[in-house]
Structure 1
């Protein structure tokens, strides 16, 4: 890439909001990213917002790749194996291409250099990790044989009149030796998601669908992270409040959907914005 194309840089009026998606910036090396972002700064009006996204360096999807030095650019060989049924992947002619994995520190360095090159202030507002729980390659295991296949059961939570086997949402996290800070985070994260699912299973056991009464209310332990406590409480309150609904399948159509949203909220609240998910997003303010 040589930066923004002339059709945009010269011919288009400035935008208030610039953004990338689908890991766009992971297709470029650091120097190219700096050039693109510096061009955006030059093209922007006096005040604008830029949102950029890369692939996260430390997703559990590619635990086998964690060892590459953070001070060096690393491009993974990204396989599009997930478009094939599982039984065909071993024999399919799977396309692949290089995509760069980054952590927050690397993005901050890119932004600093783009600011220096353009002479324009770029202020980081927010970093966040996306898709810790349902990244594409959790299902393939191409870069981590221990990955749980979560996409189908998570999607099933949002299907009308489909009751999900909630135990299929439980994750047996396997740590990688020598990466304590990463292992500690993922152990906490999957402990939280597992606890939410187990609490929901326990509350459904003996749940009175006529009255919404719960025979079992598991204890919320004091050491649980606050987002986990809130998620468990939300699912409980919904279960207690929908017993009067006699239409359709309350578990499949309401309770499981709320569990899906609770898992999503849990991921949003617990992610550290450092490169732990399939995608790492940064939101930045451009001021001239």
Structure 2
């Protein structure tokens, strides 16, 4: 079963799937509209981005936030065994559909692997492992089987397990945080706040000021961190924080992240 270290995007092994399969609209994140299934005008012949070093300057902020959790290379190299949608246009629709399903499966595997890795999750070990094995098996399925897969149903089954894993981990805090799941904290002033062990599942933290905040063992699954100011914040041990969430925030050299995450280039 893949660990989180293996659930990372490897663009050099992918046929530019995120640049072709996904749609985007002219907004603060993109300068133009693009339909699903149509290649971005910046996708090169080698499937690399021709403006990768200038994405934000060119208005493609959304591209610097997105992460496929390694779904792109899995579909390109395993599901379709190295066949490119450009070289074989007849498979394009199947490739793009598989990519959407695979990304959901890989994101779920990220969460399940983290839950299993928590020392406090031992009582949940068997259930987490069984669901992890089921999701991992689907990632090795062919395109037809992926088309029939229901990652949303798997996620619903995982939801109570992940919630319980979070509760067990946060219970170890000397000052257990309160539950602020789903809270509207848009633009909130949370500078230097002690948020250790706080439940922030699905919280709206858009443009919140979290500079210097202590977010160790805070549950951030599904939290919206777009433009959240994380300068000097401590997120070591934060629960269920993903690369796209970190990418969407505004950190600096003093921001402390979990070891499994990479510091975004634009920080």
TM bin (shorter chain):
under 0.3
Name which structure has the greater RCO, CA cutoff 8 Å, separation 6+.
Answer: 1
Flag the structure with higher strand content. Answer: 1
Flag the structure with larger Rg. Answer: 1
Task: State TM-score, norm by structure 2.
Answer: 0.26
